[in-house]
Amino acid sequence: MSTITALSGRAVPLRGNDIDTDRIIPARFLRCVTFDGLGEFAFEDDRKQLTAVGKVHAFDEPRFKGAKILAVNSNFGCGSSREHAPQAIAKWGITAIVGVSFSEIFFGNCVAMGLPILRVSVADAETIQALIEADSLAVVAVDLEKLQVSVSGKTFSAQMPDGVRKQFLSGAWDATGELVAGAAAVQATAKKLPYVSNFA
Amino acid sequence: MSTGTLFDKVWDLHTTRLLSSGQTQLFIGLHLIHEVTSPQAFAMLRERGLSVPFPQRTVATVDHIVPTENQSRPYADGMAEEMMTAIERNCREFGIRLFQPGSGKQGVVHIIAPEQGLTQPGMTVACGDSHTATHGAFGAIAFGIGTSQVRDVLATQTLSMNRMKVRKVQVDGTLKSGVYAKDVILHILRVLSAKGGVGFAYEFAGSTFSAMTMEERMTVCNMAIEGGARCGYINPDETTFAYLKGREYAPSGANWDKAVAWWKSVASDADATFDDVKTFRAEDIEPTVTWGISPDHGVGVGESLPARESFAKEEWATIDEAYQYMDLKPGQPIAGVKIDVAFIGSCTNGRISDLRETARVIKAHGGIVPAHVKAFIVPGSEAVKVVAEAEGLHLIFTAHGFEWRNAGCSMCLAMNPDKLKGDQVSASSSNRNFKGRQGSPSGRTLLMSPAMVAIAALEGEVTDVRKVLN
Ligand code: SF4
């Protein structure tokens, strides 16, 4: 299992609060039995709509092509629990997300996939986005050990729940192995719960 | 930290052990799966050579991609057929019960589990679907999970989770006529916002919820997720027990009394403490309609749409975006907004009581859906459909110009043939008004109670249902 301590790369800023998972990957792309190929459809409808009115979505801007870090605002990933959403973002090329706040299910999905997701203040999120917009070649560095995000010579403090941070640093972000290892304890818990035997 | 709440008790009872990350390995009492978020989880199980140790604690159904008109197999949509075949094969191979169309038990996953008596107080419930919060109506701790976590539950019957804080959302008093459970939750969302509940479990408490039926409680808990809360619950009481008694998978005979005693023991103590408390008065709640692109963008049906200045400055961009997308303007009344489509159904409002109330409104109004409005009613489950037809509700619907369909998620989201076209405006009894949610990238959704959808369908525009009820 791989440890994740620091990531860096060019970044893509995506402005807006409450960007829900229906927007990240519209439901029609959920008609699938694998996550393969979802990357190209990330933000499909938002992208098309902007194109139609002569604007460009950040994911379509050539200067952000190849970005590894996604910079967002508040309540990102709210709505549907579809893991297809972080999967589409990851398959597009993103390896870490920085933003003000995230829906819990989205956050949990990212962790389970090994996609670090860090919180920064409202003001810092906007500054980070502005810095990336000013210089799309700037490298954004995300450090899970120091809990910092740095870009263009500026450093911002970031947050991540302690347990989750430990999971990334120790490589235990994929919890399955440890959960499976607890099988005996799980059987013991099941025995204690009266409904497991339908109260017989 | 909260103490003595149902959440605390159920969490502690299901805690298997602490993991090296500091998270809890939490036992999941009831695992529900459907065709959309499970195939990749089964693929991961196979890849890793994992088995399913508690197959009897997972129950499957199909709802999202199931067409609500022609259900004969193979489905016209080849991809839908492939997903259907995948869940059939997965359930067969891993020994999991599957409620298929035609079994009499199929329907939207959050409708059928309570209906069959599978959802019970004191359980932990998980499903690869955010509206799993619905099951909290029974005093269960129920949350939506992603596909990797579906894999974890299949492989271990547990999840790695962080404990949540508990907020008591107290509503006291009697709802006014024409105000429904849906309005209560839309009102709470409007006040507490779509992200106000992040990090919390919501305990819905107070006389308004105590007076509600189980179906009304499910409507409320269903949309806890829309407020950012991972789960929402209501303490079990005599209403809960009466609902469960006699259902197929509920305890019976000598075990029933043991069950009731245990269920009572998991309810929040009188002296429970909470991390936060918010209070509301039932009398303040109006029939509520959403105007924007987030479920907390609601207004009372008698109100005009809010100016962006009435929101925090950091919300302004979102509010502007909402007005632009919806093609509505601040200051305009919500009543009178024209609609093209009316949809009654979904795990929020696709139960028999919703259909009965819809029929009551239709009869009180007496009119017929105008030709330019497409109105359709989708029962949440096969069982709901059977009861509705036995009561002749479908005849009332069709006589007044509403289409009557088979059970499924239908136009709540757009994974089946039911979709908005272009920038159509839909009055919808479902739970999400996100951009593109109902199948057209520019389609627009106004969320409201089924009674309000019914009258909007008949009038062709947003209308106060009290016009015909009083
Ligand atoms: S009815 Fe809608 S919200 Fe409920 S499970 Fe189906 S798609 Fe999800």
Q: B94-137 pLDDT, tens per residue?
A: 999 999 999 999 999 999 999 999 999 999 999 999 999 999 99
Is a pLDDT exceeding 90 seen at residue A163? no
Count CB neighbours of B182 within 10 A: 27
Rounded distance between C-alpha atoms, residue B71 and residue B405, angstroms:
10
- Probe ligand 1: pick from B36, B62, B64, max atoms within 8 Å of CB? B64
Residues from chain B contacting residue A86 (CB–CB below 8 Å): 146
Residues from chain B contacting residue A194 (CB–CB below 8 Å): 258-259, 262
Query: What separation in Å is there between the alpha carbon of A35 and the centre of ligand 1?
Result: 21
Residue A112 forms contact with B (CB below 8 Å): yes
Question: What pLDDT is attached to residue A1?
Answer: 63
Residues from chain A contacting residue B255 (CB–CB below 8 Å): 198-200
Instruction: Tell me the per-residue pLDDT of B52-94, one tens digit each, with 9 for 90 and over.
Output: 999 999 999 999 999 999 889 999 999 999 999 999 999 999 9
Question: What pLDDT is attached to residue B416?
Answer: 86
**Where do you find CATH 3.30.499.10 in chain B?**
11-161, 288-469
- Probe ligand 1: pick from B131, B134, B135, max atoms within 8 Å of CB? B131
Q: Does domain B288-469 have CATH number 3.30.499.10?
A: yes
User: Which of B364, B359, B343 shows the shortest CA–CA distance to B393?
Assistant: B359
Confidence of residue B415 (pLDDT cuts 50, 70, 90): confident
Domain-by-domain residue ranges, chain A? 6-171
**Where do you find CATH 3.40.1060.10 in chain B?**
165-248+261-284
CA distances to B17, B62, B90, B298 from B85, in Å: 37, 11, 9, 40
Is a pLDDT exceeding 90 seen at residue B386? yes
Is a pLDDT exceeding 80 seen at residue B278? yes
Question: What pLDDT is attached to residue B294?
Answer: 96
Please tell me the distance in Å from A176's CA to the nearest CA on chain B: 6
CB contact under 8 A, B318 and A16: yes
Is a pLDDT exceeding 80 seen at residue B470? no
CB contact under 8 A, A23 and B434: yes
Instruction: Tell me the per-residue pLDDT of A90-124, one tens digit each, with 9 for 90 and over.
Output: 999 999 999 999 999 999 999 999 999 999 999 99
pTM of the model: 0.95
CB contact under 8 A, A45 and B19: no
Q: What is the mean pLDDT of chain A?
A: 95
CB-closest option in A17, A108, A166 to B314: A17
Residue A123 forms contact with B (CB below 8 Å): no
Is a pLDDT exceeding 90 seen at residue B22? no
Q: Determine the average pLDDT of the residues in B414-434.
A: 94
User: Which of A36, A42, A27 shows the shortest CA–CA distance to A92?
Assistant: A42
Superfamily per CATH, domain A6-171: Aconitase, domain 4 (3.20.19.10)
Is a pLDDT exceeding 90 seen at residue A172? no
Is a pLDDT exceeding 70 seen at residue B299? yes
User: Which of B376, B360, B336 shows the shortest CA–CA distance to B460?
Assistant: B336
CA distances to A84, A129, B67, B74, B403 from B77, in Å: 20, 41, 9, 8, 22
CATH, domain range B11-161? 3.30.499.10
Query: What separation in Å is there between the alpha carbon of B130 and the centre of ligand 1?
Result: 9
Q: A-B interface: how many C-beta pairs under 8 angstroms?
A: 229
Q: Which of B149, B265, B316, B411 to mutate to test the interface with A (most CBs of A within 10 A)?
A: B149
- Asked whether this complex has an ipTM greater than 0.90, the answer is yes
Burial string for B333-368 (b: 16+ CB within 10 Å, else e) reads ebbebebbbbbbbbbbbbbbbbbbbbbbbbeebeee
Helix intervals (H) in B56-194: 78-94, 109-115, 147-156, 181-192
Show the 3-state SS of A38-58: CHHHCCHHHHHHHHHCCCCCH
Instruction: Tell me the per-residue pLDDT of B192-241, one tens digit each, with 9 for 90 and over.
Output: 999 999 999 999 999 999 999 999 999 999 999 999 999 999 999 999 99
Residue A189 forms contact with B (CB below 8 Å): yes
Rounded distance between C-alpha atoms, residue B32 and residue B55, angstroms:
11
Instruction: Tell me the per-residue pLDDT of B132-155, one tens digit each, with 9 for 90 and over.
Output: 999 999 999 999 999 999 999 999
Q: Determine the average pLDDT of the residues in B7-20.
A: 96
Please tell me the distance in Å from B466's CA to the nearest CA on chain A: 31
The answer to whether residues B200 and B278 touch, using CB atoms and an 8 Å cutoff, is: no
Range 124-153 of A in CB contact (< 8 A) with B: none
Q: Where are the beta strands (DSSP E) in chain A?
A: 6-13, 69-71, 96-99, 117-119, 139-143, 148-151, 154-157
Sheet holding B276-281, edge to edge: B231-233, B200-205, B165-172, B276-281
Q: What is the DSSP letter of B304?
A: B
Instruction: Tell me the per-residue pLDDT of A122-146, one tens digit each, with 9 for 90 and over.
Output: 999 999 999 999 999 999 999 999 9
With a Cβ cut-off of 6 Å, ligand 1 is lined by B 63-64, 108, 110, 129, 131, 346-347, 409, 412-413, 430-431
Query: What separation in Å is there between the alpha carbon of B65 and the centre of ligand 1?
Result: 11
Q: Which of B24, B42, B130 to mutate to test the interface with A (most CBs of A within 10 A)?
A: B130
Q: What is the mean pLDDT of chain B?
A: 96
Count CB neighbours of A19 within 10 A: 25
Q: Given this structure, which CATH class describes domain B165-248+261-284? A: alpha beta
Rounded distance between C-alpha atoms, residue B417 and residue B438, angstroms:
11
Instruction: Tell me the per-residue pLDDT of A33-69, one tens digit each, with 9 for 90 and over.
Output: 999 999 999 999 999 999 999 999 999 999 999 999 9
Q: Determine the average pLDDT of the residues in A138-161.
A: 97
Nearest CA in chain B to A102: B198
